[in-house]
């Protein structure tokens, strides 16, 4: 028998202390099922960081296999037996010097199971759901999150119901069903799907897995920040460009940076956080520019980057707080710039971005033009899914093998 990954099989000491309302700071007990806090805001997992610091020197982390579970003491799953894994690797940092610049790296999340960074959040949330006895889950999705949920939940026998907008990319709809989820197309946007999920949850039909409506997806997504620090030898880049719909990953990384500083693993330097949205759906940008703490719903949302087409984010104030504290900016880019960035990166650097990843490259270029960053600063762009999931234009030509072929012209 193949020796299993020690990161998955090692029993872990328990460092989770409680959950905390992200708005009021009110404490909630760990090891119980929770959705939002009493005031309707996301719950954050808190750890005994002094105990982690005493038990886990940074060198111990460095000696482990470089997958998501190397960070186990900073994750909420208490027992290895509850981990529902599909092989969550550390994703690479890929230079894109030609389409981006000499100091630009892409963290290519498309290498994860189910082809997107949604695997990080859903492996954690599903593992905790398993540990807490959940048997049926429903969630709204723009595509990739539903695929990740279906895969992990099917793997441990949890029933899933997934609702998606009727114009969700076809491959996402089909992969959800192929991996065991019951998927329904809804004539509306993701928050319309979420309203249906919430109604069923209120009637006791299932557990609501909507973005930030359970506490553990943030913990999976924060591993992007942990990984990034380790890959850059315990420093952080000058800027991070993150495709922002629900914003779980941006919130999670900001949390990870604070936890690592408390552990003495990194210093106080933080990247400027750029929350990247599409011009056709930019509620966070509008709130940022208006100096607001919360973002009003964006009406008639439309963009080629379906993954960031989120008209209203329950964690809006957490996204805005992180962007402002970092000295960063919430910025929107148009669909033509997104598609041009995807094409440029593929043709010039050989890396196929998803549209949401293309949005980060387009935003970086605009930030450079506006003087918000300069070429000497290091920047990390997040490509949240493999570009292979998205339609590509057919640029091929045909040859008739029965006719003379001008080989030199090829």
**DSSP per-residue string spanning 217-284:** HHHHHTHHHHHHHHHTTS---SEEEEE-SS-HHHHHHHHHHHHHHHTTSS-S--PEEEEEEETTB-HH
Query: Considering its fold, how many domains does the chain have in total?
Result: 3
Do residues 156 and 305 share a domain?
Answer: no
Residue 335 lies in a domain: yes
Do residues 147 and 281 share a domain?
Answer: no
Return d(Cα 16, Cα 82) in angstroms, integer: 16
Residue 86 lies in a domain: no
Do residues 327 and 246 share a domain?
Answer: yes
Which tokens in the block code for residue 361?
A: 């490259």
Residue 76 lies in a domain: no
pLDDT tens, residue order, the chain (410 aa) = 445 677 776 666 679 999 999 999 999 999 999 999 999 999 999 999 999 999 999 999 999 999 999 999 999 999 999 999 999 999 999 999 999 999 999 999 999 999 999 999 999 999 999 999 999 999 999 999 999 999 999 999 999 999 999 999 899 999 999 999 999 999 999 999 999 999 999 999 999 999 999 999 999 999 999 999 999 999 999 999 999 999 999 999 999 999 999 999 999 999 999 999 999 999 999 999 999 999 999 999 999 999 999 999 999 999 999 999 999 999 999 999 999 999 999 999 999 999 999 999 999 999 999 999 999 999 999 999 999 999 888 989 999 999 999 999 99
Do residues 137 and 160 share a domain?
Answer: yes
Residue 196 lies in a domain: yes
Do residues 230 and 299 share a domain?
Answer: yes
Do residues 27 and 41 share a domain?
Answer: yes
Residue range of the domain that includes 14: 6-70
CB 64 within 8 Å of CB 119? no
pTM for this entry: 0.94
Angle (CA) 180 181 182, round 5°: 125
Do residues 203 and 236 share a domain?
Answer: no
Residue 404 lies in a domain: no
Do residues 148 and 231 share a domain?
Answer: no
Return d(Cα 291, Cα 89) in angstroms, integer: 38
Residue 396 lies in a domain: no
278 Cα distance to chain centroid: 16
CB 119 within 8 Å of CB 97? no
Return d(Cα 72, Cα 305) in angstroms, integer: 33
> Where does a domain end: 184, 208, 232?
208
Return d(Cα 61, Cα 7) in angstroms, integer: 10
Residue 318 lies in a domain: yes
Angle (CA) 178 158 196, round 5°: 80
Do residues 145 and 246 share a domain?
Answer: no
Do residues 176 and 239 share a domain?
Answer: no
Beta bridge partners of 331: 276
Residue 410 lies in a domain: no
CB 114 within 8 Å of CB 143? no
How far, CA to CA in Å, does 17 sit from each of 9, 72, 274, 341, 383? 22, 15, 31, 44, 33
> Can you tell me whether residue 331 is helix, strand or coil?
strand
Angle between helices 316-326 and 248-262 (to 10 degrees): 50
User: Where residue 246 sits, what CATH number does that domain have?
Assistant: 3.40.50.1100
Nearest Cα neighbor of 68 from 263, 265, 256, 261 is 256
Do residues 202 and 256 share a domain?
Answer: no
């Amino acid at each position: 028998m193949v020796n299993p990954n020690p990161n998955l099989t090692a029993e872990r000491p328990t460092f989770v202390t409680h959950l905390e309302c992200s708005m009021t700071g009110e404490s909630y007990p760990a090891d119980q099922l929770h959705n939002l806090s009493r005031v309707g805001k996301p719950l954050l997992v808190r750890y005994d960081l002094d105990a982690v610091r005493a038990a886990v020197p940074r060198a111990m982390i460095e000696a482990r296999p470089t997958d998501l579970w190397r960070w186990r003491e900073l994750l909420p799953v208490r027992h290895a037996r509850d981990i529902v894994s599909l092989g969550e690797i550390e994703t690479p940092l890929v230079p894109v010097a030609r389409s981006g610049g000499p100091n630009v790296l892409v963290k290519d999340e498309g290498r994860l199971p189910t082809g997107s960074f949604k695997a990080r959040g859903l492996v954690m949330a599903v593992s905790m759901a398993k540990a807490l006895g959940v048997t049926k889950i429903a969630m709204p999705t723009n595509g990739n999150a539903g695929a990740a949920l279906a895969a992990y939940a099917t793997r441990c026998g949890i029933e899933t119901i997934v609702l998606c907008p009727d114009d969700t990319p076809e491959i996402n709809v089909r992969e959800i069903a192929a991996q065991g989820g019951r998927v329904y197309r809804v004539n509306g946007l993701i928050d319309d799907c979420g309203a249906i999920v919430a109604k069923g949850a209120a009637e006791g039909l299932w557990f609501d897995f909507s973005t930030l409506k359970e506490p553990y997806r943030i913990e999976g997504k924060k591993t992007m920040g942990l990984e990034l620090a380790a890959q850059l030898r315990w420093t952080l880049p000058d800027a991070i460009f993150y495709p922002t719909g629900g914003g779980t990953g941006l919130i999670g990384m900001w949390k990870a940076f604070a936890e690592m500083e408390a552990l003495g693993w990194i210093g106080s330097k933080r990247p400027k956080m750029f929350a990247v949205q599409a011009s056709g759906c930019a509620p966070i940008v509008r709130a940022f520019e208006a100096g607001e703490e919360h973002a009003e719903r964006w009406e008639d949302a439309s963009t080629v980057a379906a993954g960031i087409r989120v008209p209203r984010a329950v964690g809006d104030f957490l996204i805005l707080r992180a962007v402002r504290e970092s000295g960063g900016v919430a910025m929107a880019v148009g669909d033509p710039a997104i598609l041009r960035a995807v094409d440029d990166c593929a043709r010039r650097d050989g890396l196929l971005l998803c549209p949401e990843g293309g949005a980060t490259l387009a935003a970086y270029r605009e930030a450079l033009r506006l003087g918000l960053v300069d070429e000497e600063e290091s920047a990390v762009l997040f490509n949240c899914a493999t570009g292979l999931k998205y339609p590509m234009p057919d640029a091929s030509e045909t040859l008739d093998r029965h006719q003379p072929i001008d080989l030199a012209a090829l």
